[in-house]
Structure 1
């Protein structure tokens, strides 16, 4: 994390590329509080480390998926995997007026086609706001 620039660099990702993303002030404040008051002592550089011994090991993506799975089960929602968070995020951004390109950038998609899958459109709702085709009667 570059606290001064307000960015976070993602390395060793699934896509095997490095991305620099904005770090919103509120998120940075929460992370700083976690690092100063909640994070178990560790000599490692990982931001998120295990809460159980051995603490020096970074939290894995599998561990995060398991936490999400348990939370979804407790919520009573039908389980659809941890990607439901990405789909919800994309649909919410689209509903708030973000472009597919903006959503693709945030989800780190290389293709807008992938983003279209994530940002499923509410077609019945769109019909209510659709403008008539130029030259049409309606």
Structure 2
């Protein structure tokens, strides 16, 4: 410890953030280092100068942009569910549920057959994050994907879940991790580095905003309890932002 210098701490943090460059990782790394050096101080080591170079990273509200998929990436993602996969229709239907109606992974995993009203074209969510019942419209393309999976690929089982296990025991419900893994693997298959399932909800929200939907409509569809949660999508409303943008200093206005 006596040979350790402040620049060594800075270099260590920089190397770690090259691997995972996120605010959450930076905060966790800074907290872990401060805790460890604090422990070394109780052991009698002189680490005050090194503690001074570890600062908590800035994390401003709404500072980042939602990580949404480009239209071309959406097409490639949907086309990736081919016959080479063990259950392509299941994966395709899961992705459609997230892309078309903004279902979370937990909501996809908990979706039950009685929750779908095929005649009226609605989906009832009884097991939501907000612990309430929500009724969403079921787009035709999403309904076709679900029906195609249920009719031609879904295993025969007493389980009332829409999505069931590919391998036995089929009567056991799938977990949230199964849905996350299906979406993550599909994203990685087409070369997307940000394979988080939440990116599909971001994609839907961005499409809605750029096609003229209000933030209130986005919040209602994504079932945000507070409109403030949806404010980040205002930064992607290109049409509205162009109307309020000021000319760049020194530029020539045509």
Q: Which TM-score tier does this pair reach, normalised by the shorter chain?
A: 0.7 to 0.9
1:83 corresponds to which residue?
Answer: 198
Q: Deviations over 1:36-63 (max 9, x none)?
A: 1111111111111011111122222211
Deviates most, 89-98 or 58-67: 58-67
SS at match of 1:121: helix
Q: Does 1:39 align with 2:154?
A: yes
Query: Which structure exhibits the higher relative contact order, with contacts defined as CA atoms closer than 8 Å and separated by 6 or more residues?
Result: 2
Q: State the Cα RMSD in Å.
A: 2.5
Q: Deviations over 1:104-130 (max 9, x none)?
A: 11111111111123x251477754333
TM-score, L = length of structure 1: 0.81
2:136 corresponds to which residue?
Answer: 21
The answer as to whether partners of 1:91 and 1:121 remain within 8 angstroms in 2 is no
The answer as to whether partners of 2:209 and 2:236 remain within 8 angstroms in 1 is no
Q: Does 1:128 align with 2:242?
A: yes
- CA distance in 1: counterparts of 2:157 and 2:179, whole angstroms: 19
Counterpart mapping for 1:44-63 below 5 A: 44-63=159-178
- CA distance in 2: counterparts of 1:73 and 1:40, whole angstroms: 26
Q: Which 5+ residue runs of structure 1 have no aligned equivalent?
A: 133-138
- CA distance in 1: counterparts of 2:151 and 2:120, whole angstroms: 20
Moved over 4 A (4+): 123-127
- CA distance in 1: counterparts of 2:188 and 2:172, whole angstroms: 27
CA distance 1:70–1:29, change in 2 (3 Å): closer
Q: Which has the larger radius of gyration?
A: 2
